[in-house]
Structure formats: structure tokens, C-alpha cells
A and B are shown apart, each in its own frame.
Chain A
Amino acid sequence: MNSRDRTPPEKELKVGFGSLIETRTFEVPAGDAPPWDATTKLSVVGSDADRADGRDKASGRAKYTHDIAFPGMLQAAILRAPIARGLLQNLDLEKARSMPGVAAVIALKEVGKRVRFVGDEIAAVAAPTLDLCRDALEAIVAEYAQEGHTVDFLFADGAPVLDEQGDITDPWPDAGEELTAAFAKAKTTVTGTYRTEVQTHASMESHGAVAKWTDADLDVYMSTQATFGVRGELSQAMRAAGLQCKSVTIHAEFVGGGFGSKFTAGAEGRAVALLAHAANAPVKLVLNRFEEHTCTGNRPAALMQFRAAVDEQGAIIAWDQRSWGGCGHNGQGGGIAIPDHLLAKAARRRERAHQDLATDADPARPMRAPAHPQGFFGAELCIDELAAAAGIDPLALRKQNDAQPLRLQQYELGAERFGWEQARAAAAEAKQDQHARYLRGVGCASARWGNLGNDGRGRGDGPGHGAVCRIHQDGSVEARSGAQDVGTGFKSVLTNLTAEELGIRAEQVRATAGHTTDPSGPAAGGSTTTASLAPVIRHAAFLCKQELAKKAAEHLGVAADSIVFAAGRLSAGDTSMSFGDACKLIGPNPIEMRGERFPNYKGKVFERGVCGAQFAEVEVDTWTGIVRVLRMLAIQDCGIVVAQKPAESQVLGAMIQGIGFALHEQRILDRQSGRMLNGDFLRYKVPGALDVPPMEVIMQSVANGHSNCSAAGLGEAPTCASAAAIANAVFHAIGHPVRRLPITPDKVLAALHQRGGK
């Protein structure tokens, strides 16, 4: 049955949140589970149920890719180029191959091909222990014809000229009539150059895989965000290598983070499969921390210039921007995204003024809200500078210009919860003392992400995303998806939706994720997983429920459609039975249904994505230049919240990563060697427990009307705002903007000096 054969009936749904709820009409496909809306009473969804695999993880029982082992399994390691640019002139693997115990040695780059960055893959070995692998790597002879390289994007072709303050000096390109006119009638105009550094994903579980061949069938246990994507990638790679490969199955039951770096199998994924074939044994290949920092992608650097103007009434009437991305050798992925929702009244440049610059370094990969934290930092700080120049409270300026009704509420709520006015006033008053060592500042910024998931059919007519629900005779319930849980709490999405539909507790459902033998789903990226899969997970449970209701109806002597599933019972009028007793009617074969992912409903959704607002208070030590975040608040929606605690955790985590981006994190490449100087956890500083202040998160459960459960994803949105809010708080504290991340003591002291010089 195809959803297109059905005529979708129109249905009225209450969408929105709080005082913003209104009735709208949607086309709901026939056969879908009856959609939830703002009036639906839910008992498991949005409850404080524990994360589905929380105890497995905390107890050490959870087996991640790094933890997988098989009898006779070999270890593997990769030889990487020590130069940033040049040609591979000679590669001799024979000495390594002849070492006792070394089971396989393969070339990953052909002689004569170009080395593109320090860490480029050259060859790989497999041997019983990692120590032996490293011995074998040392026995490989690789010779290079080195060429000149550039690893600093400000020295790349096409980079603009900066003055001593780091400001772009080139005149703006012609802005066109409308924008020029808007600037001409402005009351206040500001302009500034903003910069962010390369941030690495630094997942705690590095990239890695275990490959195991059984005749022509390949099983790969991989730390990946895209089980189905890497399945296809490896299948193709094995064929390209001329290997007979009947099937590829990916397993990623537990994944130790990804943040965008694990969408591809990469050279290491292909290598481990080839080594396992060559060695005729299972092989494990796990990258070390230095490789993880230097060879598995990053959030690229950004250079941005903005100019913005307000009129007498405080409307942002003109906005101009140009930007450059500091990318790796492929020169891709360096775009920026800014809070357009604040610029609805502004005249803008018509053509996009952005250029990605290539360097001889590891290429960018998507990283949590790609392009957004960079652009939001620059643009939100520019807006605060505009507010200060115009003598307007920055929150008031946002409230006046933001086009999103829900965010306007979030600003109000946030200001109240955070004590915005009092804290701003107290900080300003403390500043009156010119000898005060510590300054305080308070800032805010907005968040957004525009994704409500997809049906997985692409442009084609295929079956789309799936999910399976099974109810067994013994009362156990399974919810299964081949998509992966990278730590987001996707397994709780499986358990909570299934339990809600069946009227049982979340702990009664066993969630399984990450095996490509189960129905397909999207990669865990762009906040698409929950939005895309929640409706089909719920639909699978809905179909199982109907089957179980039929069996129970016969037993109870009532009509199947009169049975209600709630509180662990199946009830119809005065008669009822427990869920467990109903399951006993099932027989040896479980009820097993695959859900259908109907397209998102046609109709005017409440929001095209999700939105949020964040607040931060900082303390600046004027003697040392050290910035400490004192407290933070996030208000965030993600459609109807399916798994409350994991959702809150994701927002908290986004804020903490934002502290790192704002204050600490930067990849430092040595210009001479092209090598990363801080490729470890000692010198590349991700936030630690002592860097993290008390934080509060308020989740708003918003009925959007786009699917049967109105769920939206959450990974990206809160990531947009955190660094921006902190930078704005630092600006408020110092009275002078620090326009370059990370806000390290040297930059703070320079800003204090500049402020003093005024």
C-alpha cells in the first residue's frame, strides 16, 4: 500500500504553545495514527522516564565499537603523512609485511599521488597487538617530495587584508540602491570584523570499526552517525577493490558521540574492511586521540564583517555582511549562518558575499549546527554593539525586531527567570568603581533550527524510513530502528513513543538501534533523526496496538475499536484486562508491524523548525583577563518533547560546548610543519567540570502540526546561541567587544586596554 493512493482527509489540530495556541487545518494521511496536538494528554512522552540505556552506560555494560572483540581478532593502525603538501614518491611495504606476526599491510595512497595534509592516510597494517602494529608502521618506508604549504587561511589565496586590530580594510563592494538608501537614513550604524577559530568535534569515542568477514558477507561494527550511509559506502568500496561482497551489515548499538564527524566510513573504515579481508581474520581499527583531532574533520574557521543600522524607532533597517571560511584542502564547508529572524525589517545585500578559502589542512566536516555558532556569534555581538551605540537595551532591541512569536515569549520568560534587568543594572553599577578588579556582564542570544524531518523517500517513490514494533506472547515489547543513537537519547524516543501508544511504562519496551538489519532511518545529523523517525515509530506501535486489540476484543467480547490502552490495561467500558494477559493471546509468533513514515502533513505548521533563547552571566577578572561563566539559562522548544531528560541534557551539553567555543577551543596548526600543536586533551581544552557553572534549561513542548506526534530534533538549535550569549555578556562586562573567539585572557586584556584608551 502506498500513501499516495489514499486521499488525505482534512483534520483540525490545535497547534502552538501556551497563549499562542490556535486551530489550524492539516491534511492527515489515511491510515496514520491519530495525530497528537496541543490538547493531547500524554503520560510517557514528555515524562521524566529515565534514558532507555542509562544504566547500561553508567555500569560499563554497554559495548561500544571500541569494546567489541572476537576470538582471533587483530588490531590495526594507519601510517599517516608527516607533511602538509607534496607527492608520495616511494612506498615500500615489504619489510613490514615480512615481520613475524604482521598479518596484513595495505597501501592507502598510490605512489605519485598528492599528500594533502599532515595526517593524510598512506598505509595500514594489521597484527595481533597494537604495539606490533606500531612496530610495523615504523618498518614502512614512505618518501615524499615536499612542496610549500599554507595552513593559515588568512594567508590563502583570496583572503582579505586585515589591519593591526584584525579589521578588514577593503572597502565594501557596492551594496546596491536599496541597502545604500537604508544605511543613509539610519540613526545609528555600527560595523565590525569577527573571527572564530577551528573547533574539533573531539568525541570521546574516536572513529573506529571492527570488520569481520564470513565468506562474502561483511559485518562492520562502527562508531558512526550514519549506519545506512556507511553501509552503502563500504559496499561500493569493496566492489571497487574487486572483492566479492554479498552483503554489508553495520552495527552501531552504542556510539560514543559524533557531533557531525561520523557521517562517513572514511579511509579508516575502508581500511579496516580491506585489512580484515587480506588477513582473513576480524580486525579492529581505532584512531588515537591525535588522529581524532587532526584527521576526522572540524568546524572550520570563519572571518566575517557585518554592518548594521537602526532607525529612530529601534528597527534594524539595514544589514550587510561578507564572510570567508577557513577550510581544509577541499576548500568546502566554511559558510556562516546568522539569525535572519532578527532582520525581517532590514534591507540586505542581494548576492551572497561569501568565499571559502582552502588550506593544506584536514577538511571541514559538519559540526553541530554547521555554520551557525560562528555566524550567530558575530551577528549577535554586532547587534549588541548596535544596541549599545543606539542606547537601547539589547534584549529590548531583539524583542522589537524578532519575527518569531514563540521566541518573543522566550525572551520574556528568560528575562524573568534570569533576572535580566536586575543583573544588568547590578553589573552596570559595579562598573562605576573604576578600581574594581572583577567586572560582571549579562548577555543573551537567539537560537533556531529549521528542520521538521523527512519521510526518507527523497525524490523517489520508495518505502521511506521505517521502524518495527514487536509484541511477544510473554508481554515483552521491542521497538527497533536501524538508525543510530549517538548519545542523543534516540533509544528513549523508541521506548517512550511505543510505551505511550501501548499504554505501558517506558521500561517495558526494549529499544534496539543501530543495526542495518532493522528498518532504515536517516543519519544522525541536522536534527533530523527524531523528527523523521518519531512518527514512524509511533505508527508501528499503533499498528501493533490494533492487532492486539483485535485479539483482546474477541476475548472480552467487545468491539476492537472500543478498546483503550492505558495504565497497563486494555479497557472497553466496564470490562478490561491487563496488557500482559492480552499478550498471552498472541501465540508463538509475535505481533510484528513495520510502521509507515507518511510525508509531513500539508498545512500551516506553527513553526518551520524550533527556536530558543539563551542567557549568560560572566565575570571578567581585569587583572588576569580570565572570563568565568557564572550561570546560564536556555529556553528551547523541539516540537512535542518526547524524552524530557535526554532533551534537557542535549541543551545543557550544547551550552557547555558553547562555553568551549567561546572561551577555550582552538586548533593550533604550526605554520612551519602544518602539524597540529595541540592535538590532545591537555592542550586542546574542552570544558571540564570546573568550567561549568549552574545551568538551567526550560523545555517548551510545542505542537507544530507537521506529523502524528509533532516531534522535532534538538541537536543543533541550542548550539547556535551559547557562544554568542557569552560573548555579549563579556561585551557588557568590559564595555568593549571581543570580536574574536575564543575569548582568551590576552584578548580580554587587549579589549580592556582599548576601552581604557577611549
Chain B
Amino acid sequence: MTKDLHDGGAFSRRSFLKGASAAAVGSAALHANADAHQDGPKSYAQGAHAIALTVNGKEHRLQVETRTTLLDALRDTLDLTGAKKGCDRGACGGCTVHVDGLPVNACLMLALDAQATQITTVEGIGRPGHDHPLVLEFARCDAMQCGVCTPGMVMSSLHCLQTNANPDRASVQRAISGNICRCGTYGRICEAVAGAAKRMQGEKR
């Protein structure tokens, strides 16, 4: 009963994650395969693994458990806390990061599965000493209140701009529709993305 209550559902994601490795126990390798994702899903033994993650262009070596999510690895091990844990269930988008150029909920990806990928977090999108145009425009448009959802919004917006340099309001709304903001800043986020699009086009010229 305890377990179910804590995980918020009769179906327990936790027991699922814990057992993610069940099929591979027999041939357990302590060190996970660095090419993990290239041949499709891999199985891993339960317990600790030494892995490497490439985050914002830099390789980090770290210890994770099989069940450790990419989000927990980023936040708790690498101290990259821009990605927030709003729900830990892929429902709020606060943990949005880019994996090989696509926005993902870092709470829904195992750290092991993020090996051999290019991970970009909100900390990695500007140039050193210069905030990204989206960050500047979010601030200028006041596209935030408490700010906890904001880095995730920035990352979803960034992907929107990477696929469409000049998105209309509806495109931005769709791009951030997986991100929840309880303070209610959606309208101004749309304005900020439009502003950033202009700024980024100006920078290219």
C-alpha cells in the first residue's frame, strides 16, 4: 500500500523502473554499453553503472543506478538544475531538455539510455557571458512569474524556433502545449518567442 500511495497510482512507474533490467540480469555487465541506443533498446542489470553523458558539449563521467532518470542525473549528480522536476511523470514539461536536437522530458528517460547522445540543457543554450535571445525576450516580455516552468518553456520554445524561424502564435502554443505554467504566463511566452525569432533573424543577418 505504501508503495502505491507514494507513486500516485495503482500502476507503479517505480516498480517498472526498478525492474527495467530484469531481462538482462543473467548477462549483467557492470559498465553499460556506450553505444546503448544505436541498436535499439538495451537492457541493463539492476544496480550501479559508470556511464558517460555528453551535456552541453562536455563529457561527464558519473555513477548512476539503472533506475536513475536523466533528470535526476542532471540535477543531483551534475548540479544542472535548470531542468525542474515539476511532476516526475512527463506531464508538466518542466524538465524539458534536448536530446539529439529533440525536446524530451528528462524525467521520462533513463540516464543509461541517454548515453552516446548530445544533451542540451537550458544552461547550454547561450554563449558564455551572453544570455540566449530567448532568455532575453522572456525577461523583456515578462513571460514568467514564479519561474519554475520557465527553463522548460525556453527549451520547448527553442525547438519551435529551430524548426520554424518565424512561428505564428498557434505554432508556439502547440510547441509549449506539453509545458504547464501554473502562474499563467502563456500569452507572454508567445510574445517572447515572437520577439526572439526577430532577434535571432537579426543576428543571422
CB within 8 Å of B: which residues of A? Answer: 50-51, 53-64, 66-67, 69, 77, 79-80, 82, 118-119, 129-131, 134, 137-138, 140, 142, 201-206, 254-257, 259, 286, 288-290, 486-489, 645-646, 648-650, 652-657, 675, 679-682, 686-690, 692, 694-695
Contacts and interface: CB of A to CB of B under 8 A. Distances in A.
A66 B6 contact: no
13 contacts: A55-B135, A55-B136, A58-B150, A59-B122, A59-B154, A129-B76, A203-B148, A256-B147, A646-B145, A649-B185, A652-B187, A652-B188, A686-B182
A681 B76 contact: no
Contacts, number: 217
B44 interface: no
B139 A689 contact: no
A125 B152 CA distance: 30
A82 B6 CA distance: 9
Contact of A59 (B7, B67, B68, B151): B151
A140 B6 CA distance: 13
Given A59-B122, A140-B2, A487 B150 contact: no
Nearest to B139: A54
A690 B92 contact: no
Contact of A58 (B6, B9, B65, B147): B147
Contact of B142 (A51, A56, A682): A51
Nearest to B86: A204
B6 A59 contact: no
Contacts of B8: 288-290, 679-680
Given A59-B131, A60-B122, A646-B142, A653 B185 contact: yes
The B interface, classified by DSSP as helix, strand, loop or mixed, is: loop
Contact of A487 (B80, B132, B146, B190): B146
A373 B72 CA distance: 38
A694 B142 contact: no
Nearest to B138: A58
Contacts of B144: 51, 54, 57-58, 487, 649
Contacts of A655: 184
A687 B184 contact: yes
B91 to A, nearest CB: 4
Interface in B64-92: 65, 67-68, 72, 75-76, 79-89, 91-92
B136 A645 contact: no
A131 B6 contact: no
B114 to A, nearest CB: 18
B197 to A, nearest CB: 16
Contacts of B182: 201-204, 257, 259, 657, 686
Nearest to A79: B2
A137 B12 CA distance: 15
Interface residues of B, number: 71
A58 B148 CA distance: 9
Interface stretch (B24-32, B34-42, B172-180): B172-180
B23 interface: no
Interface in B102-124: 121-123
Given A289-B89, A681-B91, A681-B180, A137 B187 contact: no
Contacts of B134: 58
A80 B6 contact: yes
A50 B83 CA distance: 23
A689 B5 contact: no
A690 B180 CA distance: 11
A101 B181 CA distance: 37
B147 A53 contact: yes
A468 B84 CA distance: 32
B88 A289 contact: yes
B173 A58 contact: no
A204 B146 contact: yes
B50 interface: no
B142 A204 contact: no
A118 B14 CA distance: 20
A64 B81 CA distance: 9
> Which are the 5 A-B pairs with shortest beta-carbon distances?
A60-B82, A487-B146, A656-B184, A57-B147, A290-B8
B135 A59 contact: yes
B140 interface: yes
A255 B143 CA distance: 16
B5 A118 contact: yes
A662 to B, nearest CB: 13
Contacts of B75: 67
B84 A205 contact: yes
Contact of B151 (A54, A60, A650): A60
B65 A129 contact: yes
B92 A204 contact: yes
B126 interface: yes
A488 B144 CA distance: 10
A487 B183 contact: yes
Given A50-B139, A58-B150, 8 more contacts: A59-B123, A66-B84, A66-B85, A67-B75, A79-B2, A289-B8, A656-B186, A689-B173
A692 B91 contact: no
Given A82-B5, A205-B84, A487-B183, A690 B173 contact: yes
A483 to B, nearest CB: 15
Contacts of A138: 2-3
Contacts of A254: 147
A690 B177 contact: yes
Nearest to B181: A204
Contacts of B87: 289, 680-681
Contacts of B190: 689
Contacts of B91: 289, 680-682
B171 to A, nearest CB: 11
Nearest to B82: A60
A325 B59 CA distance: 56
B146 A58 contact: no
A290 B8 CA distance: 5
B140 A50 contact: yes
B55 interface: no
Contact of A142 (B2, B121, B148): B2
B186 A203 contact: no
A489 B5 contact: no
Contact of A205 (B68, B148, B180): B148
B51 interface: no
A681 B126 CA distance: 30
A79 B151 CA distance: 31
Contacts of B89: 289, 680-682
A653 B72 CA distance: 30
B126 A59 contact: yes
A137 B4 CA distance: 11
B200 to A, nearest CB: 15
Given A66-B84, A653-B185, A82 B139 contact: no
B149 interface: yes
Nearest to B89: A680
